[in-house]
Amino acid sequence: MFSSTNLSLSLLILALLLSFSAAGKSSKSAPTKIGQGYRLIAAEETPDGGLVGHLQVKQKNNVYGPDIPNLQLFVKHETEDRLRVHITDAEKQRWEVPYNLLPRESPPALKQAIGRARKIPITTVAASEYSGSKLIFSFTADPFGFAVKRKSDGQVLFNSSSDESDPFGELVFKDQYLEISTKLPKDASLYGLGENTQPHGIKLYPNDPYTLYTTDISAINLNADLYGSHPVYMDLRNVNGQAYAHAVLLLNSNGMDVFYRGTSLTYKVIGGVFDFYFFAGSTPLGVVDQYTSFIGRPAPMPYWALGFHQCRWGYHNLSVVEEVVESYKKAQIPLDVIWNDDDHTDGKKDFTLNPTNYPRPKLLAFLEKIHSIGMKYIVINDPGISINSSYGVYQRGIANDVFIKYEGEPYIAQVWPGAVHFPDFLNPKTVSWWGDEIRRFHELAPIDGIWIDMNEASNFCSGKCRIPKGKQCPSGTGPGWICCLDCKNITKTRWDDPPYKINASGLQAPVGFKTIATSAVHYDGVLEYDAHSLYGFSEAVATHKGLLALEGKRPFILTRSTYVGSGKYSAHWTGDNKGTWEDLKYSISTMLNFGIFGVPMVGADICGFYPGPTEELCNRWIELGAFYPFSRDHANYYSPRQELYQWDSVAQSARNALGMRYKLLPYLYTLNYEAHVTGAPIARPLFFSFSTYTECYGLSTQFLLGSGLLISPVLEQGKTEVKALFPPGSWYSLFDMTQIIVSKGGKYVTLDAPLHVVNVHLYQNTIIPMQQGGLISKEARKTPFSLVVTFPAGESEGKAKGNLFLDEDELPEMKLGNGKSTYVDFYATVSEGNVKVWSEVQEGKFALDNAWIVEKVTVLGLDGNGAASAIEIGGMPVTSVAGVEVTSSEQVHVDDDKDGGGNIKSVMVQVGGLSLPVGKNFVLSWKMGLKN
């Protein structure tokens, strides 16, 4: 939805912020070094193998408030590749991310007696070590500092000690200001610390601001805190030609600035505790595996969710929605899911239907029609509940006492329906009430998923508000995002006006600006000040629970605001972007970052949310967006219509790009399974597969789907070619498999890219399963399979592998062993002209019950220019099998032979007319003719 972040509101924010000029010192003018840190005065081992220490402040000061005098240090190697370092007030409990929201081990109770167990000698000279399987924790006592080192190679991953020459100081721990830093090698490449729109690409850029605080400002704002908070970064280093990756998570939900200076990184946090988790790696995939094993594996997605989605704010009535669906069908453009923004609601109230524009009988008839062919329907739901005594959702909310409070009364804010209260999703009663409201609405309209928006939480007003008497609010005329409540600014508590000002919105906006007042109270006395960035996450957890209880189906949730662990419950889109070439490019970096964050189902609004794209831009955007993991066209109420059929040229590009996506659905669904099992991103930076090739460390204009499918889109106006980087190896065009690029040491190649063409290349040593495509995933899924096998071009010896996961895609769990799934490993070898392709099947019954077959096998990069002969299936000659056809074609080198690749001769062999059951092991083999 078009939130409170359009251009006119951005100007309003800027004007309002001028009134806060006295709100405190700028973070940039803050003292570089505060105090002398802490000293470690005692330490002991815990019975479970951890380490507990007692820290004492060295010299108190009052910069940003008084120091907390005594801290408890807890260190534990939780797994062989994960180390936790937890620092908190030794005297009293402080706010932490709730352990029931993000399950993890609890640290020892406070005031644990020192001296009952074996003490570790404390020395002010030498560092002491606490070693695990893969990581070593070392510390110095006075001033206290710690380092984390990888055992296998001795690399220091984190070092908090400060030297006089460092631009950062020692550990600082106050009630509302925590600071800690680490040294970094100057050649380390860092990724993460989001959500933000990074104009310099996926690599963190020294001296750019990285502020983490969930905020409703649109994605068009660069280098600003956006909808999500992910205080984690991946560090990739190349040491003597070897690549090493690790990750660092600071599990803290309070607002924070992170200053990356190139050789150091400093956290400045306005509350909570230091709760660090270090993930040893040492590959990028290994890091994400370790990270998601801790925060929660990505949610399994239903098969249809990987199809194409169409949405718009401004489908004024049901007939428009019906027309959109029919127009996609008429244009022969694939479409799986049709969405409604708030147009379907009664007065923009949650869980309602507009009786005039979306009458229930007609909507039910429409849903029955689209459900019968496999299409799905999703609607939006904002968290703000309209204050309306005749509104059942509100009545039940008040009766169940589910709303966030301010001074003992439900907090009043304004969003689209006018005055609202915000549900408190940290309250167990709220979770139950929310699930019941989902159930009630599903009985009203059998939706297939829920889109939760505005959940940063967004508020059109600031401060303490009341509903005005004697005037309508909103008035019904003019922009709906203008505050019409009677409000007064709140600065009376230290939560509303903290001593340190994070760089909120890139403008140091007050932390309660256009959101819930930070002194508002959640369940069990929790302050909004602490829990703010968890709001969207906690709503996603409640929504997931509610959907799961409906029919036992796999939930689909799209959320705007995210936090650490959100990927376990929901998909994400990148919010309000613009229809510009710059935004097209930025979308790649944001998408790739969310894969690292454990939210692999991600995409941007295709063609831009507002103010409307050019025809050329929309062509190029669908060519990119067809390969986002989450692929949806979405537009603003005030923008011209931009469905893909609105221009003949865009329709042609859509048929081409989405046509390929729908052929690749089995591959994408298998990547979805891998993400759920191992955390592996669906869309990945190239360095995930080519970690020793430093040229790709900052590459933000191309990406991989899985380990070896390279997408190289056009991102600039007027271009009909694209300069693409090809890491070392052989690459085959998926649209024309006779075309090949051989890159010996890695190189850039200029590729033809006319308006309707997107370049997609498949790497050597790979097998991907494909189907024939279609206009709806349900139908595409019934078509025969083909396998594409790639070897290094012209090599006499080669190996390739791939896999395929199939299941009953609406079961809650995505796993083997339930009788409703099949997993297949595919293998291929070539050796001295003998080609062999085979499968190894686990639990084949499900695939056999669905009668899936492999109809064609295409092998690329074979040595020789003769024909395939002596073809056998399971050791039996195929001469006795009717309908089998074998063709071979010489492959063409696209590049200009600068590194000698053009001297390599290779052929493509296709064996068609097969009928190999996917659910049974098969072996296909042949011999290649000799070269001339």
Q: Can you tell me the mean pLDDT for 187-201?
A: 96
pLDDT score at 508: 87
Which amino acid is residue 221, in one-letter code? N
Q: Can you tell me the mean pLDDT for 331-345?
A: 98
Q: What is the pLDDT of residues 137-166, one digit of tens each?
A: 999 999 999 999 999 999 999 999 999 999
Q: Helices 615-625 and 581-596: crossing angle, nearest 10°?
A: 20
- Superfamily designation of domain 685-928: Golgi alpha-mannosidase II (2.60.40.1180)
| Pick from 149, 399, 449: nearest CA to 282 | 149
User: To which residue do tokens 């929790």 refer?
Assistant: 526
CA atoms within 13 A of residue 525's CA, in its CB half-sphere: 2
Least confident piece of the model among 251-265, 455-469, 477-491: 477-491
Model confidence at 900: pLDDT above 80: no
| Pick from 565, 662, 97, 627: nearest CA to 335 | 662
User: Is residue 730 within 8 Å of 741, Cβ to Cβ?
Assistant: yes
Q: What is the pLDDT of residues 799-827, one digit of tens each?
A: 999 999 999 999 999 999 999 999 999 99
Q: Supply φ then ψ for residue 531, to 5 degrees.
A: -90, 0
Model confidence at 24: pLDDT above 80: no
Instruction: Give the pairing of strands 766-770 and 450-452.
Output: unpaired
Q: What is the pLDDT of residues 561-608, one digit of tens each?
A: 999 999 999 999 999 999 999 999 999 999 999 999 999 999 999 999
Least confident piece of the model among 248-252, 635-639, 893-897: 893-897
CA pair distance 752, 738, nearest whole angstrom = 15
User: Is residue 651 within 8 Å of 644, Cβ to Cβ?
Assistant: yes
The string of DSSP codes covering 250-298 is E---S-EEEEE-SSEEEEEESSS-EEEEEE--SSHHHHHHHHHHHH-PP
Q: What is the pLDDT of residues 424-472, one digit of tens each?
A: 999 999 999 999 999 999 999 999 999 999 999 999 999 999 999 988 8
| Pick from 764, 712, 801, 798: nearest CA to 891 | 764
Q: What is the pLDDT of residues 166-181, one digit of tens each?
A: 999 999 999 999 999 9
CA atoms within 13 A of residue 796's CA, in its CB half-sphere: 4
| Pick from 825, 841, 738: nearest CA to 790 | 738
pLDDT score at 546: 98
- Asked if the bond preceding 616 is cis, omega within 30° of 0, the reply is no
CA pair distance 543, 58, nearest whole angstrom = 47
CATH number of 303-671: 1.10.1060.10, 3.30.565.10, 3.40.50.1970, 3.20.20.80? 3.20.20.80
Instruction: Give the pairing of strands 337-340 and 376-381.
Output: parallel
Model confidence at 14: pLDDT above 50: no
In angstroms, the Cα distances linking 359 to 16, 200, 345, 350 are 42, 48, 10, 16
Q: What is the pLDDT of residues 178-191, one digit of tens each?
A: 999 999 999 999 99
- CATH classification code of 37-104+123-295: 2.60.40.1760
- What is the average pLDDT value for the chain, to the nearest integer? 93
- Please tell me the pTM assigned to this model: 0.95
Helix (H) or strand (E) holding 670: helix 665-678
Q: Please enumerate in sequence order all residues whose Cβ is within 8 A of that of 14, keeping only pairs 6 or more positions apart, or say none.
A: 507
| Pick from 816, 843, 844: nearest CA to 916 | 844
Q: How many residues does the chain have?
A: 932
pLDDT score at 114: 57
Q: Can you tell me the mean pLDDT for 627-647?
A: 97
CA pair distance 33, 268, nearest whole angstrom = 12
Least confident piece of the model among 85-99, 466-480, 651-665, 753-767: 466-480
Q: What is the pLDDT of residues 111-122, one digit of tens each?
A: 764 544 456 666
CA pair distance 630, 306, nearest whole angstrom = 6
- Asked if the bond preceding 282 is cis, omega within 30° of 0, the reply is yes
User: Is residue 836 within 8 Å of 821, Cβ to Cβ?
Assistant: no
User: Is residue 123 within 8 Å of 140, Cβ to Cβ?
Assistant: no
Helix (H/G/I), strand (E/B), else coil: 639: coil
| Active site positions, annotated | 453, 456, 576
Model confidence at 2: pLDDT above 90: no
pLDDT score at 787: 98
Model confidence at 6: pLDDT above 50: no
Domain spans of the chain, in order of start? 37-104+123-295, 303-671, 685-928
For residue 712, the cross-strand partners are 759
37-104+123-295 and 685-928 have identical folds: yes
Q: What is the pLDDT of residues 95-144, one digit of tens each?
A: 999 999 999 999 999 876 454 445 666 654 445 889 999 999 999 999 99
Helix (H) or strand (E) holding 595: helix 581-596
CA pair distance 662, 654, nearest whole angstrom = 11
Model confidence at 360: pLDDT above 70: yes
pLDDT score at 651: 98
User: To which residue do tokens 């083909």 refer?
Assistant: 786
Report the first-to-last Cα separation within the chain, whole angstroms. 63
Report residue 18's pLDDT band, with 50, 70 and 90 as the boundaries: very low
Helix (H) or strand (E) holding 748: strand 747-752
pLDDT score at 11: 35
**763-777 burial code (b ≥16 CB/10 A, e <16):** bbbbbbbbbebbbbb
Q: What is the pLDDT of residues 864-892, one digit of tens each?
A: 766 888 899 998 888 756 789 999 999 99
Q: Can you tell me the mean pLDDT for 205-223?
A: 94
Most distant CA pair in the chain, distance: 93
Model confidence at 401: pLDDT above 70: yes
For 924, the token pair is 């296909």
pLDDT score at 414: 97
